[in-house]
């Protein structure tokens, strides 16, 4: 399936890939390639980058698990281009990063960013101003964590230390004199 990619000059179209429409094949800009274009094939478990450098064709296959995560970046305005928001499949080698979404008006950027992270099974990352990536939410493995809400305990200091069920129960009391049966014949029920 061929979709999205770089828009022709003067076009108002932006890069928008559907995370639920994988596999997808699209062109993207590449400063090191002939014609400044590379073809990207994206699937749930792999990415294939095809480009031509000085007349030599090459294809690089990378598993999705080799990527750092799905990064959200703010691109400052450059010349006539206004500021934009991008979502990329980020790799430790910046030349292998894959653009997934780019738009000037990032109205639904949060939903798109989370959808790509969920579909590819990668962590969500945010790029800081210096270019470093960080996770905006805490995680333990693949599970997002947060500070638990405080428990609803009321009015007493004792409730903060003990389970509330103990506060409702009264402790059992032993009888003053224990009953002892001596000299009696024991009766046992048998089938």
Could you tell me the CATH number of the domain that includes residue 108? 2.30.29
Which DSSP helix (H) or strand (E) runs through 170?
Answer: none
Q: Tell me, what DSSP letter sits at residue 117? A: H
Q: Which two tokens stand for residue 39?
A: 């073809």
Determine the Cα–Cα distance for residues 151 and 36; give it in Å rounded to an integer. Answer: 58
Q: Is residue 163 part of a domain?
A: no
Q: Is residue 70 part of a domain?
A: yes
Which range marks the domain in which residue 45 is found?
A: 24-129
- Residues whose CB is less than 8 angstroms from the CB of residue 87 and which lie 6 or more positions away in sequence, other chains included: 70, 71, 72, 73, 99, 100, 101, 102, 109, 112, 113, 116
pLDDT at position 6: 43
Task: Provide the number of structural domains found in the chain.
Answer: 1
Q: For the chain, give the mean pLDDT.
A: 78
Q: Is residue 137 part of a domain?
A: no
pLDDT tens figures, 48-74: 999 888 889 999 999 999 998 999 888
pLDDT at position 43: 92
Residue with tokens 């799905």: 70
Which ranges of the chain have pLDDT less than 70?
Answer: 1-14, 106, 138-171, 187, 189-191
Q: Is residue 1 part of a domain?
A: no
Q: Is residue 155 part of a domain?
A: no
Which DSSP helix (H) or strand (E) runs through 39?
Answer: strand 37-42
Q: Is residue 183 part of a domain?
A: no
pTM confidence score: 0.61
Tell me if 1 sits within 8 A of 96, measured CB to CB.
no
CA distances for 137 relative to 23, 97, 125, angstroms: 28, 22, 9
Q: Is residue 77 part of a domain?
A: yes
Q: Is residue 16 part of a domain?
A: no
């Amino acid at each position: 399936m061929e979709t999205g990619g770089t828009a022709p000059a003067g076009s108002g179209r932006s890069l928008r890939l559907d995370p639920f429409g994988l596999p997808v094949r699209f062109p993207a800009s590449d400063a090191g390639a002939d014609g400044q274009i590379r073809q990207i094939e994206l699937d749930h478990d792999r990415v294939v980058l095809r480009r031509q450098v000085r007349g030599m064709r090459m294809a690089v296959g990378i598993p999705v698990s080799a990527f750092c995560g799905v990064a959200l970046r703010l691109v400052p305005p450059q010349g006539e281009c206004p500021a934009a928001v991008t979502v990329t499949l980020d790799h430790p080698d910046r030349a292998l990063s894959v653009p997934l979404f780019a738009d000037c008006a990032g109205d639904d950027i949060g939903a798109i960013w989370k959808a790509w992270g969920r579909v590819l099974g990668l962590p969500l990352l945010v790029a800081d101003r210096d270019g470093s990536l960080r996770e905006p939410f805490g995680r333990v493995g693949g599970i997002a964590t947060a500070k638990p809400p405080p428990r609803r305990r009321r009015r007493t200091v004792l409730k903060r230390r003990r389970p509330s069920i103990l506060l409702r129960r009264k402790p059992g009391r032993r009888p003053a004199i224990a009953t002892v049966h001596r000299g009696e014949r024991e009766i046992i029920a048998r089938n």
